């Protein structure tokens, strides 16, 4: 009698570990070559300051090789990892809300846990900011001067976060005939505001254009169509993080939309002018 031996090879469905897991295990092998610089946290744009940040980071490549971290023309050291929640790192729910809103402008989400990278040896000679930064899994974040510097592994990842953000020096023109700029604000609060001027568009057409430019997860909070001078409000889904959205007109040429979220409030103001329509968006964390 012939006997058959059946041998089963069982392999896991997903064998790839996340960047955070690899870093915690000192088993990460990756290069981060691509970066961009955020708008200033306080909204006060300074070309000289941005040039200073760009000069410092220009040509810098971040390389992880097991337990070693190398930064081009800066330093190499054995790194330590500290797993944090947003609240344990920033110590304030208001500060957490500020950074969540600020990062969302660049389509970057702060996860429930992330890593703080520092030298394993505190006496290691490596100057700030390269001696203290965050890894959010698919992004590295340095804080320097009044800006965040975001690093990515590939150019495609960088482009997916840059193409629709408001990272400008002074002003920029877009294909939709608009000019945008970020406004200054007081340093004693975390409010952020920016404005765009839509040339030769009515208020209703500007609203439609503004809504179409938003990401899907953001434009779902705005109704598809509005009627001039008609006030109304809507309640959001309870599990969406959005509480209410209020549409309030002040005559046919001015509309204010207030979005109330769990973590703060966004007010979008539309004002019709002779040459087009101005839109001011103000983000206010609780």
- Residue 32's Cβ-count burial label (10 Å; 0-12, 13-18, 19+) is buried
- Residue 79's Cβ-count burial label (10 Å; 0-12, 13-18, 19+) is buried
Greatest extent of the chain over all pairs of C-alpha atoms, in Å: 96
Query: What pLDDT is attached to residue 11?
Result: 36
104 by DSSP, 3-state: which? helix
Query: What pLDDT is attached to residue 152?
Result: 92
Instruction: List average pLDDT for each run of 10 residues in the chain, which is 286 residues long.
Output: 41 57 93 88 70 85 94 93 94 91 91 95 88 93 91 84 45 53 57 82 91 82 92 84 92 95 89 91 82
Q: Tell me how far apart the alpha carbons of residues 268 and 277 are, in angstroms, rounded to a whole number.
A: 13
Q: Tell me how far apart the alpha carbons of residues 233 and 211 are, in angstroms, rounded to a whole number.
A: 17
């Amino acid at each position: 009698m012939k006997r058959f031996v059946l041998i089963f090879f069982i392999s896991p469905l997903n064998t790839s570990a996340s960047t955070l897991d690899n870093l915690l295990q000192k088993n990460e092998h990756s290069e981060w070559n691509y970066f961009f610089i955020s708008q200033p946290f306080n909204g006060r744009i300074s070309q000289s300051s941005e040039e200073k940040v760009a000069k410092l980071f220009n040509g810098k490549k971040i390389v992880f090789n097991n337990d070693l971290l190398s930064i081009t023309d800066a330093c190499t050291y054995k790194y330590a990892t500290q797993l944090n929640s947003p609240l344990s790192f920033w110590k304030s729910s208001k500060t957490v809300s500020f950074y969540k809103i600020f990062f969302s402008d660049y389509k970057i989400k702060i996860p429930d846990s992330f890593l703080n990278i520092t030298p394993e040896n505190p006496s290691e000679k490596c100057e700030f900011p390269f001696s203290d930064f965050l890894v959010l899994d698919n992004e590295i974040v340095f804080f320097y001067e009044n800006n965040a510097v975001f690093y990515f592994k590939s150019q495609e990842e960088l482009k997916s976060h840059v193409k629709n953000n408001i990272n400008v020096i002074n002003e920029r023109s877009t294909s939709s005939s608009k000019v945008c700029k970020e406004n200054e604000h007081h340093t004693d609060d975390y409010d952020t505001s920016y404005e765009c001027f839509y040339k030769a568009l009515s208020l209703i057409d500007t609203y439609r254009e503004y809504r179409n430019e938003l990401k899907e997860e953001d434009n779902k909070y705005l109704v598809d169509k509005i009627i001039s001078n008609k006030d109304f409000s809507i309640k959001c889904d309870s599990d969406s993080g959005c509480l209410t959205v209020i549409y309030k007109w002040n005559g046919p040429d001015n509309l204010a939309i207030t979005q109330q979220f769990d973590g703060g409030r966004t007010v979008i103001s539309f004002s019709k002018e002779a040459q087009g329509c101005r839109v001011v968006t103000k983000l206010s964390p609780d």
